[in-house]
Amino acid sequence: MSIPIAEGEAFNGACAKLVQTTRESGMAHQTRNWHAVEVSDFGGGNLRLMVTGEFQSLRSNEVAHLKEAVPQGINAHVLILDMAVEASGTGSDIVVWKHVTPFAKPVSPRQYSEVWIQHDGTSKSVKVEVVLS
């Protein structure tokens, strides 16, 4: 099924308007589908905390990364991560959901019960799931 040129141009114009409005409002990138999982290798050792999620990109050349916040909070069972969105090279205006680059950290058993993801003044709380192998 082909879309007539006029309708395609209207759609592209609507997408460009959405990106422009989002930028002008200073709205943070939206996020969703966060998971924090404590996993081990097959022998039951070498535990890692894996954090994954998605963000709504406003340009085709944007990528998001997680890193540990400095300083961490006062609760030792909560890991605070900062999400940074970076653009490299040339990109085009497009609103699309992308995966955040996965975050991994060696941990001891049940070291963290919760992860907070911070970005542009917003915060999301994610409970840590423990996967037994």
| pLDDT tens column, 104-116 | 999 999 999 999 9
**pLDDT tier for residue 19 given thresholds of 50, 70 and 90:** very low
Query: Is the pLDDT assigned to residue 10 strictly greater than 60?
Result: no
Task: For residue 71, say if its preceding peptide bond is cis, omega within 30 degrees of 0.
Answer: yes
**pTM, to two decimals:** 0.76
Position 5 in a domain? no
pLDDT (mean) for 51-73: 94
Per-residue pLDDT at 46: 86
> What percent of the chain stands above pLDDT 90?
57
Q: Number of folded domains in the chain?
A: 1
Average pLDDT of span 12-40: 67
On whether residue 22 sits in a domain, the answer given is no
Question: Residue 132: pLDDT above 90?
Answer: no
**Domain-located, residue 20:** no
Q: Is position 12 within any domain?
A: no
Higher pLDDT, 22 or 123: 123
Query: Domain for residue 65, yes or no?
Result: yes
Contact between 123 and 87 (Cβ < 8 Å): no
Q: Is residue 83 part of a domain?
A: yes
User: At residue 16, does pLDDT exceed 70?
Assistant: no
- Position 24 confidence tier, pLDDT thresholds 50, 70, 90: very low
Domain of residue 42, residue span: 28-130
The reply to whether 15 falls in a domain is: no
> DSSP of the chain, one letter per residue?
-PPPHHHHHHHHHHHHHHHHHHHHHTPPPPEEEEEEEEE--TTS-S-EEEEEEEEEEEETTEEEEEEE-SS--S-TTEEEEEEEEEE-S---EEEEEEEPPPEEEE--TT--SEEEEEETTEEEEEEEEE---
Residue 92 lies in a domain: yes
The pLDDT-based confidence of 9 (bands split at 50, 70, 90) is: low
